[in-house]
Amino acid sequence: MDLVSRIQRLPIGKFHYTLLWVIGLGWMFDAMDTGLISFILAKMSEDWAMTPTEKGWVVSIGFVGMAIGAVCSGAMADRIGRKTVFATTLVIYSLATAACAFAPNLTWLLVFRFVVGLGLGGQLPVAVTLVSEYIPAHVRGRFIVLLESFWGLGWLCAALVAYLVIPKFDWHMAFLIGGLPALYAIVIWKMVPESIPYLINRGRIEEAHRLVQSIERQCGVEVIDKIEVQQVSDQKDISFKQLWSGVFARRTLMLWLIWFGIVYSYYGIFTWLPSLLVKQGYSIVQSFEYVLVMILAQLPGYIVAAWLVEWWGRKATLAVFIGMCAISAYFFGQAYSVALIMLWGCLLSFFNLGAWGVLYTYTPEQYPTNIRAFGSGWAGAIGRIGGIVAPMVVTHLMVKDNGFSYVFMMFTAVLVAVALVILVLGEETKGRTLESISK
Segments making up each domain of the chain, as ranges? 3-225+245-424
Most confident of 38-52, 182-196, 348-362: 182-196
Measured in whole angstroms, the distance separating CA 150 from the mean position of its chain's CA atoms is: 10
Model confidence at 402, pLDDT cuts 50, 70, 90, reads confident
Range among 49-63, 201-215, 271-285, 425-439 rated most confident: 201-215
Query: Which of 351-355, 391-395, 399-403 has the lowest average pLDDT?
Result: 399-403
Q: Which of 42-46, 301-305, 390-394, 421-425 has the highest mean predicted lDDT (pLDDT)?
A: 421-425
Q: Write the CB contacts of 182 (distance below 8 Å, at least 6 apart in sequence).
A: 90, 91, 94, 95, 98
Residue 326 has pLDDT above 70, yes or no: yes
**What percentage of the chain reaches a pLDDT higher than 90?**
32
Report the distance separating Cα 336 and Cα 94, nearest Å. 38
pLDDT computed for residue 210 by the predictor: 92
Compute the average pLDDT of residues 117-124. Answer: 87
Q: Which of 259, 277, 284, 271 is nearest to 57 (CA)?
A: 271
Digit-coded pLDDT (tens) for 76-97: 888 888 899 999 999 999 999 9
Say how far apart CA 155 and CA 270 lie, in whole Å.
10
Query: CA-CA distances (angstroms) from residue 317 to 324, 353, 394?
Result: 11, 12, 28
- The whole-angstrom separation of Cα 134 and Cα 4 is 9
Quickly list DSSP for 55-99: HHHHHHHHHHHHHHHHHHHHHHHHHH-HHHHHHHHHHHHHHHHHH
Contact 356, 269 (CB under 8 A): no
DSSP letter for each residue of 249-290: HHHHHHHHHHHHHHHHHHHHHHTTHHHHHHHTT--HHHHHHH
4, 230 contact by CB (below 8 A)? yes
Rounded Cα gap, residues 171 and 251, in angstroms? 42
What is the full DSSP assignment across 160-186? HHHHHTHHHHHHHHHHHHTTGGGGGHH
Half-sphere exposure of residue 308: CA atoms within 13 angstroms, side-chain side: 20
Closest by CA to 131, choosing from 321, 363, 438, is 363
Cα separation, 258 vs 356, in Å, equals 10
- State the Cα–Cα distance between residues 74 and 252, nearest whole angstrom: 15
With 90 as the cut, is the pLDDT of residue 151 above it? no
Give residue 237's pLDDT.
Answer: 63
Q: What mean pLDDT is reported for the chain?
A: 86
pLDDT at residue 200 is higher than 90: no
CA-to-CA dists, residue 360 to 129, 149, 162, 363, angstroms: 9, 11, 27, 6
CA–CA dist 137, 166 (Å, integer) = 44
Mean pLDDT for the stretch of residues 382-404: 78
Q: Give the model's pLDDT for residue 232.
A: 52
- Which one is predicted more confidently, 282 or 223? 223
Residue 272 has what pLDDT? 66
Instruction: Tell me the CA distances in angstroms from 401 to 95, 99, 192, 233, 328, one per residue in order.
Output: 41, 38, 52, 55, 22
| Spatial separation of the C-alpha atoms in residues 356 and 25, rounded to whole Å | 17
How large is the C-alpha radius of gyration of the chain? Answer: 21
Distances 138 to 8, 134, 306 between C-alpha atoms, Å: 10, 12, 12
| Spatial distance between the Cα atoms of 260 and 439, rounded to a whole number of angstroms | 25
The per-residue pLDDT for 215 is 92
- Rounded to 10°, the helix 314-334/403-425 angle is 170
Which CA distances in Å does 267 have to 14, 300, 312, 316? 35, 20, 27, 23
- Given the candidates 3.30.420.40, 3.40.50.300, 2.30.33.40, 1.20.1250.20, the CATH classification of the domain at 3-225+245-424 is 1.20.1250.20
Task: Please report which confidence band the pLDDT of residue 377 belongs to, taking 50, 70 and 90 as the band edges.
Answer: confident
Which of 140-149, 227-236, 331-340 comes out lowest in average pLDDT? Answer: 227-236
The span from the CA of 9 to the CA of 2, in Å, is: 11
> Nearest-CA neighbor of 325 among 291, 290, 299, 301?
301
